[in-house]
C-alpha cells in the first residue's frame, strides 16, 4: 500500500469499526464542519445552488456516456429514473403556473435527458437491464409523498392543487434515489460509471442542502418565514437534509474505494 494511503486507510478502518451511533455522530460533525468551511469560502451562497446543478449535469453526462459508449444499462435503476422524471415533470408544471426562472430551463433539460435514459433502458438496451435487481416497490415512496403533500404544503396564495403538487415534487425528489441504491445493494458490486453518477448526485445534494442551510442562517430564519407558515418551511429544509443523508453512506464507500485505488466499488451488506 502506498504511504500516502496509509492514514486514509487507518481512519476508514477505525470509522468502520465504530458502532452506528458513533458513525452518525461523526457524519453530523463532518457535515457541520463542511458547512462552516463553505460559509467562509463561498461568499455568494447562491453559487452553491449553481454548483449543485453543474455537478448534477456532470453526473448525467457520465450516465449518457455509459449508455452510448458501453452499450449497457447494467447496474442502473429504471425505477429511479422514472421517479426522477415524475418529480421533474411536476416541478416544471409548478414553475410554469407559479413562478419560473433560469432553473426552469435547467429542469427542462434534465427532464429531457432523463426521458432519453428511460427510453434507452426500456427499449434499446433492455437486454442488459437488471430487472430482477431493480425490485424496489415505488409505491412505497410515491404514496407516502402524496399523502404528506396533502397534509403539509405551502401556505402561499397559489391555487390549492398547485401547492400540493409543489410539496409532492419536493418530497419525491428527496427519496427518488432509493431504487438506485437498492439495485447497488442487490448487486454488491458497482461498476465505475454508475458509481460516478451516484456520487455526483450525492455531491449535488450536499451542495443544494448547504445552500438552503446557509441561506437560512444568513437570513436569521427569515427565509423560512418567506416560504410560508406552519410545518412547510421546516419540511423543505428537512427534505434537503434527508436527500444528503440517504447518499452519505454510499459516498463514504465511494471515496474510500477511490483512495484505495479500486476501479470497481464493492458495497458491504447493510449500506442501504
Q: What is the pLDDT of residues 102-130, one digit of tens each?
A: 778 878 888 999 999 999 999 999 999 99
CA–CA gap between residue 16 and residue 35 (Å, rounded):
24
Predicted pLDDT of residue 21: 52
Mean pLDDT calculated for residue range 5-30? 60
Number of domains in the chain: 1
Predicted pLDDT of residue 195: 86
Please say if the pLDDT value at position 201 is more than 70: yes
Predicted pLDDT of residue 83: 95
Residue 3: band (very low, low, confident or very high) from pLDDT cuts 50, 70, 90: very low
Query: Which distant-in-sequence residues (6+ apart) come within 8 Å of 8 by Cβ?
Result: 256, 259
Please say if the pLDDT value at position 34 is more than 90: no
pTM of the model: 0.79
3-state class (DSSP) for residue 231: coil
Average pLDDT, the chain: 79
Better pLDDT: 99 or 164? 164
Q: Which three three-digit cell numbers place residue 189?
A: 458490486
Q: What percent of the chain has pLDDT over 90?
A: 26
Q: At 189, give phi and psi (nearest 5°).
A: -115, 125
How many Å is the Cα radius of gyration of the chain? 19
Residue 56: band (very low, low, confident or very high) from pLDDT cuts 50, 70, 90: confident
Please say if the pLDDT value at position 267 is more than 70: no
Burial class (CB in 10 A: 0-12, 13-18, 19+), 23: middle
Predicted pLDDT of residue 224: 55
Report whether 139 contacts 47 (CB < 8 A). no
Has residue 146 been placed in a domain? yes
CA–CA gap between residue 106 and residue 52 (Å, rounded):
12
Q: Which residues pair with 189 in a beta bridge?
A: 266
Report whether 164 contacts 150 (CB < 8 A). yes
Has residue 17 been placed in a domain? no
Better pLDDT: 157 or 153? 153
Has residue 40 been placed in a domain? no
Question: Tens digits of per-residue pLDDT, 183-194?
Answer: 988 888 788 888
Write out the H or E segment, with its range, that includes residue 265. strand 265-266
Please say if the pLDDT value at position 1 is more than 50: no
Has residue 51 been placed in a domain? yes
Domain around 64: 45-266
Predicted pLDDT of residue 15: 65
Predicted pLDDT of residue 36: 54
> What secondary structure letter does DSSP report for 120?
I
Has residue 24 been placed in a domain? no
Amino acid at each position: 500500500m502506498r504511504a500516502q494511503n496509509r492514514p486514509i486507510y487507518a481512519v476508514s478502518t477505525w470509522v468502520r469499526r465504530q458502532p452506528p451511533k458513533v458513525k452518525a455522530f461523526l457524519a453530523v460533525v463532518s457535515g457541520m464542519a463542511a458547512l462552516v468551511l463553505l460559509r467562509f469560502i463561498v461568499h455568494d451562497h447562491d453559487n452553491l445552488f449553481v454548483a449543485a446543478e453543474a455537478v448534477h449535469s456532470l453526473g448525467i453526462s457520465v450516465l449518457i456516456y455509459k449508455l452510448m459508449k458501453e452499450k449497457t444499462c447494467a447496474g442502473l435503476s429504471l425505477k429511479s429514473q422514472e421517479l426522477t422524471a415524475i418529480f421533474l415533470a411536476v416541478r416544471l408544471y409548478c414553475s410554469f403556473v407559479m413562478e419560473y426562472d433560469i432553473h426552469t430551463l435547467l429542469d427542462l433539460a434534465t427532464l429531457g435527458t432523463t426521458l432519453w435514459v428511460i427510453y434507452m433502458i426500456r427499449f434499446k438496451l433492455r437486454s442488459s437491464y437488471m430487472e430482477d435487481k431493480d425490485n424496489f416497490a415505488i409505491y412505497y415512496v410515491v404514496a407516502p409523498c402524496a399523502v404528506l403533500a396533502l397534509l403539509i404544503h405551502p401556505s402561499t396564495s397559489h391555487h390549492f392543487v398547485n401547492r400540493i403538487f409543489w410539496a409532492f415534487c419536493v418530497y419525491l425528489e428527496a427519496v427518488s434515489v432509493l431504487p438506485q441504491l437498492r439495485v447497488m445493494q442487490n448487486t454488491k458490486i458497482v461498476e465505475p460509471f454508475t458509481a460516478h453518477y451516484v456520487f455526483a448526485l450525492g455531491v449535488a445534494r450536499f451542495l443544494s442542502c448547504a445552500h438552503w442551510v446557509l441561506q437560512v442562517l444568513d437570513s436569521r430564519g427569515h427565509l423560512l418565514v418567506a416560504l410560508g407558515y406552519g410545518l412547510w418551511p421546516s419540511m423543505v429544509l428537512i427534505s434537503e437534509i434527508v436527500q444528503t443523508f440517504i447518499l452519505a453512506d454510499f459516498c463514504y464507500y465511494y471515496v474510500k474505494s477511490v483512495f484505495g485505488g479500486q476501479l470497481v466499488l464493492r458495497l458491504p451488506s447493510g449500506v442501504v
